[in-house]
Structure 1
Amino acid sequence: MNDVYEIAPVEGGKAGGMARVATLRNRLLEENPHVITTLSGDFVSPSLIGTLTYQGEKIAGKQMVEVMNALGVDYVVPGNHEYDIKEDEHLKRIAESDFQWITTNCFHKVDGKIVPWEQNGKPFPDHVIYSIDGVDIAFFGSTVPFNKKEYVSYTDKYESVKATYEKLKDEAEVFIGITHLEEDMDDSLATYFVPELDLILGGHDHVNMKHQYGDVIMTKADANAKTVYVHRVSYNKATGKTTIQSELVSIDETIAEDPTVKKVVDKWVNISNESMANMGYQPDEIVMVTKDTLDGRESSIRYKPTNYPIMTAESFLFVAPEADLAIFNSGSIRLDDILTGTITEYDILRSFPFGGGISLVDLQGDVVERVLETGTITNIGIGGYLQLANAEKRNDGWYIKGEKLSASKTYKMALPQFVMGGGEANLEFLKNYQNQSQNPDSFKEVKNDVRDIIMAYFRQLPQGN
């Protein structure tokens, strides 16, 4: 598995669900007692449940660790989102883990010193050896150094794996990487640094794939356990040859839910449902049915115009048609996943866990142009990258509602209140115009909260297209 933020089924119950994964694991154990279950990073964050409070503390991934313990996960590597939460929260999640954390390149920064992360008083190992009938299988991995939290330090994502392999190459027969890297990084790792790997269990990209880099097989499953990869690995002692049969298994309604794991899942679902109900939402209520794929992955929305955040900007114009254009900061979408099929209120809430209203402000054209240029060029790759509605850049400049932007004309812009208050990097200057903005409590019957706004917009769109 990789990139699992949701413990219960998604897509209206049709896909995913950790209790279903547990059933599959139990079936595999009947086939072979040597079943090794791994998760290739990104599990304690992001999730809606993780943002809620339970028994006086922010949940912050506690629900995932409990479910993974119940399921029987063996090994994990950190993903970049493991470091979204606070340092003390991260340390608690490690302490609660029954599974083994391993890493070759992630370290803990304490009082300016770089030290290994610890679990049960011992440093995270840079590898784990699993032995079967005299055959040793080495697991080791690497993480993208994207999350630059002050309490985290990284060594080189390639050289760290290479150094570990060089140390182990005479101690094991089978070598398996558990990585949380981008697809091209896995390619580089297998092609240029450790071509001796037999298998890479990848993560980070959220969509299933299987590639062969020389003799190295690399696979990734779909996020949120909508699929998992099952690898049947055999080693011939006489010839020294490793054979791998890889099967992508869909986790869907045809797989029953394991009752033990379901009990833990239901506990946390009930806690979150109660919180959402207190906020006025019905998690299972259908908002939209679509054949399209709404892309909320950070690797898309922070780098290029993408449909889900564009539709969010369009929803601002739906409730405020008097606005000439709308902008939306991609970092407000915390889904880091794709949505398709049945979209529920819960899907919207997990996309926008922090909510927040929108503002309307009149700005001169030269200021509008500065916002657009900064948000779509300077801010590429960060949360302040802007997605637009009714604004388009052509060869000869910016156009608003199909007409070329005039520096002296006044335009009414709809934007998140967070952005209006100067909360995004390089757009802090917008705070200078905050006192002339309008911040209504509602737009007719729609509450001024981005979650309510996009729900209302989605509900009026043609369904099933």
Structure 2
Amino acid sequence: MKKKTALARREALLALAAALAGGCAASAPTPTPAPPSGTVRLTLLHLADVYQVQAVEDGQRGGMARAATLRKQVLRETPHVLTLMGGDTLSPSVESLVEVDGKPLKGRHMVDAWNAFGLDYAVLGNHEFDFGDDVLRERIRESRFTWLGANVRDGKSGALFAGVQATAVRELGGIKLGLFGVVLQETKATTKAGKDTHFGDVCEAARGAVAKLREQGAQVVVALTHLTADQDRALTRCVHVDAVLGGHDHEALEDRGTGTPIFKVAADAVDLGRLTLDVDAATATVRQVTWQTLPVTRQVPEDAAFVAAMQPYATLFSRLSERVGRTPVALDARASQVRTQETNLGSFVADAFRAAAGADVALVNGGALRADTVLPAGGVTRRDLHAILPYTDELVVLEVKGDTLRAALENGVSLSREDSRPGRFPQVSGMAFTFDADRPVGQRVLGVKVGGKPLDAAATYRLATLSFLASGKDGYDMLKNQPSTPARADGNSPLDVLAEAFRTGTPSPHAQAEGRISRLGSGALSPDARQPPAPLK
């Protein structure tokens, strides 16, 4: 036993000495075993839902400059490597609202970052369309990598969206690797995609893409998707591929349950995914599929070339650390909460909008609130502000009848039984309502009060909301074409309004949810569950 202990201690000391001697070698990914004899190893590096260049979690995790270091270490280790991105990067980027000459970046910096990173292929994400088709086309033209989107077409010409490919074939080590990309079909309803941009059936597009790839000689096929995990599983049942690399869910996933491996990485480059395919050199059959996630932490040094390429943005990004105000209480901005129930952040934002507009009521969709964390009490920075509301929207006032307001709430809770964290879930001000998620769609809202009085179906109410919802997006068709005026004569944006509330302390956020939204049936919360948790570490 003593000999084993002494040997283990000696090996540990030798490992430590080697790490110190190697400088940053301690942060290098663990080398994978050599490929089996007679095989060609293909390596696909994967990131998805990367909304900012800089690190997250107070600098502890993520950062594209660090991920670039890990990428180069893998490139030195193995010869046949492609770098892929699973969609959602132009928006809702915290940094996309930073202005240059009075105009927000709108994802320009993210394309520059991916160009510097060495990205090979990206699939369109639903949020690539948040700034509209024209901005997306401009970003695609600026890209030195290829965008994929087999189910995104121009409704007029029938062609693919301008600058996008359905498929791609790359020969690596004598093996022809085929890639195709597909994105959520509901993107049309949840973004600012143009009226002539259509998102076709995912399964149909995938079948066509795979057939095309096989015609082009692809021997191994990988799907690059921006879908929910359930939609990825459905994809593997309708078409045969060797692996799926996905985005959209923001959470890590390794699922081999359908027989086709599906892999996802967490959002904002906190991990770099590494998919290894060992392919038989003679038959082009995939013998082994290995998945590894490489943590992107502050122990990983930043890549100097990437940092130099992004230097023009350094001063702009420094503005994000400016303090804009404070909050006396922790604010619950977690997606799992703001998209399913009342939260103190949702109520605070709705209160600020209603006060700024002088409206009777306010409604904000939970999907507009993007920070996905618990913001601690204390100072609020511009980064925090942009994280909460990273979209370019207008605050408007609609004149709506009571029955229209009820219909809007019905739409807001219409997907509450779905396990999809629907972005349409309403956060409200000036009103309270009860709903039962177990009742049929259209019958879920059981009671509504405005200003403490029962809703009058025939009365007219002034509703403060975002222009996105006023245009009928996210299922809010009943708000489309309602009499509308800008909420502020000074032209202040929703972001300006929220900044003013943080600066002045008026309105002031509450410590917890107040019971504006009561849920019956499945998913109903106890009063204790309304208390926000401690801020995330």
Calculate the TM-score normalised by the size of structure 2: 0.66
Picking from 189, 203, 208, the partner of 1:158 is: 203
Corresponding position of 2:363: 328
Cα separation, 1, equivalents of 2:394 and 2:498: 6
| 1:146-295 superposed matches below 5 A | 146-148=186-188, 149-169=194-214, 171-191=217-237, 193-194=238-239, 196-237=240-281, 240-274=285-319, 281-282=322-323, 294-295=334-335
Would the aligned equivalents of 1:356 and 1:416 in 2 still touch at CA under 8 Å?
Answer: no
Cα separation, 1, equivalents of 2:100 and 2:464: 28
Cα separation, 2, equivalents of 1:295 and 1:96: 31
Would the aligned equivalents of 2:333 and 2:388 in 1 still touch at CA under 8 Å?
Answer: no
Residues 166, 339 of structure 1: alpha-carbon distance in 2 compared, 3 angstrom cutoff: same
Cα separation, 1, equivalents of 2:235 and 2:276: 23
Corresponding position of 2:100: 54
Would the aligned equivalents of 2:364 and 2:466 in 1 still touch at CA under 8 Å?
Answer: no
The AA in structure 2 aligned to 1:392 is F
Deviations 1:198-242 (A, max 9, x none): 210101122222211432111111222223321122113357343
Cα separation, 2, equivalents of 1:102 and 1:441: 38
Would the aligned equivalents of 2:151 and 2:205 in 1 still touch at CA under 8 Å?
Answer: yes
Cα separation, 1, equivalents of 2:211 and 2:405: 50
Picking from 126, 138, 146, the partner of 2:178 is: 138
Corresponding position of 2:16: none
Deviations 1:392-414 (A, max 9, x none): 31679426599773759x99x99
1:450 aligns with 2:510: no
Corresponding position of 1:31: 77
Deviations 1:415-456 (A, max 9, x none): 64658x977652479859x89x999999xxxx9812443675
Would the aligned equivalents of 1:313 and 1:326 in 2 still touch at CA under 8 Å?
Answer: no
Residues 107, 35 of structure 1: alpha-carbon distance in 2 compared, 3 angstrom cutoff: same
1:89 aligns with 2:127: no
Aligned pair count? 432
Corresponding position of 2:434: 393
Would the aligned equivalents of 1:42 and 1:80 in 2 still touch at CA under 8 Å?
Answer: yes
| 1:94-133 superposed matches below 5 A | 94-109=140-155, 112-119=156-163, 124-133=164-173
Shift of 1:43: 1.5
Would the aligned equivalents of 2:346 and 2:366 in 1 still touch at CA under 8 Å?
Answer: no
The AA in structure 2 aligned to 1:426 is M
Would the aligned equivalents of 2:361 and 2:450 in 1 still touch at CA under 8 Å?
Answer: no
Rg (Cα) greater in structure:
2
| 1:327-346 superposed matches below 5 A | 327-330=362-365, 333=368, 335=370, 338-340=372-374, 344-346=381-383
Would the aligned equivalents of 1:127 and 1:164 in 2 still touch at CA under 8 Å?
Answer: yes
Shift of 1:97: 0.8
Residues 92, 306 of structure 1: alpha-carbon distance in 2 compared, 3 angstrom cutoff: same
Coordinate RMSD, CA, aligned: 4.5
Shift of 1:341: 6.5
Would the aligned equivalents of 1:76 and 1:101 in 2 still touch at CA under 8 Å?
Answer: yes
| 1:296-375 superposed matches below 5 A | 301=339, 304-305=340-341, 307=343, 310-313=346-349, 316=352, 327-330=362-365, 333=368, 335=370, 338-340=372-374, 344-353=381-390, 354=392, 370=403, 372-375=405-408
Residues 352, 329 of structure 1: alpha-carbon distance in 2 compared, 3 angstrom cutoff: same
The AA in structure 2 aligned to 1:135 is I
1:22 aligns with 2:68: yes
Cα separation, 2, equivalents of 1:464 and 1:372: 34
Would the aligned equivalents of 1:295 and 1:306 in 2 still touch at CA under 8 Å?
Answer: no
For structure 2, which runs of at least 5 residues remain unmatched after alignment? 1-46, 189-193, 416-421, 437-444, 513-531
Cα separation, 2, equivalents of 1:417 and 1:402: 17
Aligned residue for 1:139, secondary structure, equals strand
Aligned residue for 2:247, secondary structure, equals coil
Would the aligned equivalents of 1:41 and 1:80 in 2 still touch at CA under 8 Å?
Answer: yes
Would the aligned equivalents of 1:12 and 1:344 in 2 still touch at CA under 8 Å?
Answer: no
Would the aligned equivalents of 1:207 and 1:223 in 2 still touch at CA under 8 Å?
Answer: yes
Residues 331, 152 of structure 1: alpha-carbon distance in 2 compared, 3 angstrom cutoff: farther
Cα separation, 1, equivalents of 2:447 and 2:353: 19
Deviations 1:340-391 (A, max 9, x none): 47675412223224487799x9x9xx96x54652222135579775323561
Deviations 1:39-83 (A, max 9, x none): 111122222433444257552211011000001111111112222
How many percent identity over aligned positions? 23
| 1:379-458 superposed matches below 5 A | 379=412, 380=414, 386-388=426-428, 391-393=432-434, 397-398=446-447, 400=449, 405=454, 407=456, 416=464, 425-427=477-479, 449-453=497-501, 456=505, 457=508
Cα separation, 2, equivalents of 1:296 and 1:4: 19
Deviations 1:283-341 (A, max 9, x none): 7x8868969661189xx73xx43647634357549989x99x96432178263x62247
For structure 1, which runs of at least 5 residues remain unmatched after alignment? none
Would the aligned equivalents of 1:129 and 1:137 in 2 still touch at CA under 8 Å?
Answer: yes
Aligned residue for 1:249, secondary structure, equals strand
Cα separation, 2, equivalents of 1:439 and 1:355: 15
